[in-house]
Amino acid sequence: MELTHPEAAKPSAHDGADADYFVVTSTLTATCSGYIAVGDLPPPDHKTDAEPVSVLDDERTITRAENPHNTALRILKAVVRPAHKFDDRAVVSLAMTLRRLLVSPDRARLTKPHREAEKGVAPGEWTLLMLRTDGK
């Protein structure tokens, strides 16, 4: 993930929607089975793998653009459900945090144990948002 417009100026609270400042470009690698090669290791065989002659065989690269501001608005609406009009500054503050989380080079949240994260009292324990290994 990377910012689509890294040079874009930070918008005001009222101009946050559709602002280039928040747009993030995601590049994903997709296969039929969901397994991809990691480094030199090839992906494991799986029954859902496409036939070698199929056009679906091999890895595909997908690029898409996300707007954390729109996602923040949808998340807030999902949390409270009623058609409440959130303050623009509140939406932007959530969008800013999401943007920072998405483009952050620090990926420690993906490997940090949940037990350790649960003891953290400081803000920004993103590991708590990640899926646990036990599926919870």
Contact residues toward another protein (CB under 8 A) are 26, 66, 68, 71, 74-76, 78-82, 84, 86-87, 89-90, 92-94, 96-98, 100-102, 118-126, 128-129, 131
**Of residues 43 and 109, the one with the C-beta less far from another protein:** 109
Query: What minimum distance in Å lies between the beta carbon of 75 and another protein?
Result: 5
Q: What is the smallest separation between the CB atom of 59 and another protein, expressed in angstroms?
A: 16
In angstroms, the CA 22 to CA 6 distance is 9
Q: What is the 3-state secondary structure (H, E, C) of 60-121?
A: EEEEEEECHHHHHHHHHHHHHCCCCCCCHHHHHHHHHHHHHHHHCCCCHHHHCCHHHHHCCC
Q: CB of 115: closest distance to another protein in angstroms?
A: 11
